[in-house]
Amino acid sequence: MHLSTEPAFGEVNQLGGVFVNGRPLPNAIRLRIVELAQLGIRPCDISRQLRVSHGCVSKILARYNETGSILPGAIGGSKPRVTTPTVVKHIRTYKQRDPGIFAWEIRDRLLADGVCDKYNVPSVSSISRILRNKIGTLSQQGHYESHKQQQQQQQHPTSALQYNHIYSYTSPMAAKVPTPPGMHSIPSSMAMPRTWPSSHSVTDILGIRSITDQVSDTSPYHSPKIEEWCSLSRNGFQSTQHMLNGLEKGSLEQEVKYSQTDSSTVAGPIGTSQIRPYSVPDA
């Protein structure tokens, strides 16, 4: 991580837009790209207006058309080589049946039961890690699995699960926005699943929270909205149009310039994000 020198400020592209190399654009901007496109604005104009390279606009729109999701793909990590869902499931079963079972016994059983062959059976240390990291949190296991899979091969357009992590992505905003009483706020368990994919988007790094705060001043533009939008996906797009109106230029420009204002305060949760990426210490 190169955060030593110019961490939170990102870089400026040819259009004057700010970005963080290697990191996804903030969801707010991704959303705007799709919204503007839906309004019939040409990609080249969107590019200029939002100051995002046209290649990026093109990519985001293409993905949206293909998958219905505005979200970036799952960054980092690697696909399970031996720790497949099936294997984990079996290990869990073994562990449940015999809590005192040793890792090497599990290994033997995986082989004996034909779950794995000698080439793909997890090592004892892998099994130990599975026991520690996954089986240890049984309650969330099922969710983890499906969520993770959705994410990893996020080719699948349909499933609603896919949108689960938009909660995650936008939750920082929601967390930051002082959810008005009576407003449906997201339960934190939902907003911040343990398996948060990747919390440090530019949103966080650059302090886009501030822009979303500003936005939320003028319109109810926080995660419940986005949630709604997402569940509506491509078909029910009308409902977002008022959002768009509510967001008119003023907020848009602020949005685009988001990082140039205050970003020094966002000591992003970099590196510690997995559990509670945005434990916003509101104060």
74 near DNA (CB under 7 A): yes
Nearer to DNA, 77 or 178 (CB): 77
The interface region with DNA, picked from 72-80, 94-102, 236-244, 252-260 by CB under 7 A, is: 72-80
CA distance 144 to 197: 11
Nearer Cβ to DNA (18/215): 18
User: With left for phi above 0 and alpha for psi between -120 and 50, is residue 180 left, alpha or beta?
Assistant: beta
- Residue with Cβ nearer DNA (20 or 211): 20
For DNA, the closer CB: 78 or 235: 78
- Tell the smallest beta-carbon distance from residue 209 to DNA (Å): 16
Of 106 and 185, the one with the shorter C-beta distance to DNA is 106
How many Å apart are CA 281 and CA 268, to the nearest integer? Answer: 11
Q: Which of 270, 276, 279, 280 contacts DNA by CB under 7 A?
A: 270
Cα separation, 152 vs 58, in Å, equals 22
Q: Does 99 interact with DNA (rule: CB under 7 A)?
A: no
Q: Are 46 and 52 in contact (CB under 8 A)?
A: yes
- Going from the C-alpha of 231 to that of each of 70, 162, 208, 225, 268, the distances in angstroms are 12, 10, 24, 10, 29
Determine if 81 is a binding residue for DNA (CB under 7 A): yes
Nearer to DNA by C-beta: 168 or 251? 168
190 binds DNA per the rule CB under 7 A: no
The region that residue 51 occupies, defined by phi over 0 for left and psi between -120 and 50 for alpha, beta otherwise, is left
The least CB distance from residue 88 to DNA, in Å, is 9
Binding segment for DNA (CB under 7 A), chosen from 7-15, 185-193, 224-232, 234-242, is 7-15
Of 53 and 93, the one with the shorter C-beta distance to DNA is 53
Residues within window 144-163 making contact with DNA, judged by CB under 7 A: 154
For residue 8, the tally of other CB atoms under 10 A from its CB is 20
Phi/psi zone of residue 73: left (φ > 0), alpha (ψ -120 to 50 degrees), beta? beta
State the number of binding residues for DNA (CB under 7 A): 51
Interhelix angle for 103-112 vs 85-97, to 10°?
120
Q: CB 23 → DNA: shortest distance, Å?
A: 5
* Dihedrals phi, psi of 8, to nearest 5 degrees: -85, -5
Q: Does residue number 79 form part of the binding site for DNA (CB under 7 A)?
A: yes
Q: Which of 9, 38, 82, 214 binds DNA (CB under 7 A)?
A: 82
The residue whose two tokens read 């040793």 is 102
Q: Return d(Cα 16, Cα 164) in angstroms, integer.
A: 32
Task: Give residues 51-70 in contact with DNA (rule: CB under 7 A).
Answer: 52-56, 58-62
Binding site for DNA (CB under 7 A): 1-2, 13-15, 17, 19-25, 30, 42-45, 52-56, 58-62, 72-83, 126, 154, 195, 197-200, 270-271, 273-274
